[in-house]
Structure 1
């Protein structure tokens, strides 16, 4: 399951990349994030984060690892726990002084959850993606 959105923000590409690739900032731009803390690394490839989020009334914790980091054009971070793997991928393109962001979130569910997720989770993902890009734009343009 995945959602994908492309949008433009009125900020330079370097600033956009630096802000979004610091995954501790998810508290400001990800509607479900309650807390994200860097647990290891310098912010680049291989850096790990502990993320606590709320989704559909449940609190979940994932351990994220930066799996793609090519400043200032590409960032990807993958989170795992026993029931899910979530991968956030962002591609950045310079548009003069603005930046186009292509945001994609992929979700893979494990165990029994993989059978019910398409029925329960999938319908909520589109609305969550819309809210996420709105919050990213608001955070970057504030």
Structure 2
């Protein structure tokens, strides 16, 4: 299993950050591996909402079906699955001054023979975590405005 964690400081209130991040289709704007992500059900962005995510990693595309498994004031958890892997994006959101402290945790568990590759892929996932910590604040600023609301 591979785990990556980054702490990101945002100048926007936690409620606005949570509302933005609750729509997982927005990963196209901040996750460097996401090629496309679209909602595949309808209704409110609540636990059980689902997305089809196509990601590219090391030149190969893979499709995962993500489900919002937790949504409360301080946390969003999305779990994506396919036959090769289970990927979890765990976002903890807390007030920090007038802004937000976002703790982004990504975890990927490979299944079957793919499990053997985990130790060799850790560095690549760390690099992707670095890119998320650079791209996510810019995406939030574009969506919410460059100054706090």
Matched with 1:53 is: 55
- For the pair 1:63 / 2:65, whether they are aligned, the reply is yes
Q: Secondary structure of 1:40's partner?
A: coil
Q: CA RMSD in A?
A: 1.0
The alignment's TM-score, normalised by the length of structure 2, stands at: 0.90
The TM-score with structure 1 as length reference comes to 0.95
Q: Number of residues paired by the alignment?
A: 140
Consecutive unaligned residues in structure 2, runs of 5 or more: 143-149
SS in structure 2 at match of 1:113: helix
Q: Which runs of 5+ in 1 are unaligned?
A: none
2:5 aligned partner:
4
Q: How many angstroms apart in 2 are the aligned matches of 1:123 and 1:27?
A: 22
User: C-alpha displacement at 1:141, in angstroms?
Assistant: 2.0
CA-to-aligned-CA distance 1:38-79 (integer Å, 9 cap, x gap): 1124211010100011111100100000111003x1100000
Please show how residues 114-129 of structure 1 align to structure 2 within 5 Å: 114-119=115-120, 121-129=121-129
1:17-96 to structure 2, matched below 5 A, reads 17-41=18-42, 42-71=44-73, 73-96=74-97
- 1:134 alignment partner in structure 2: 134
Partner SS, residue 82 of structure 1: coil
In 1, Cα distance between equivalents of 2:55 and 2:68: 18
Partner of 1:100: 101
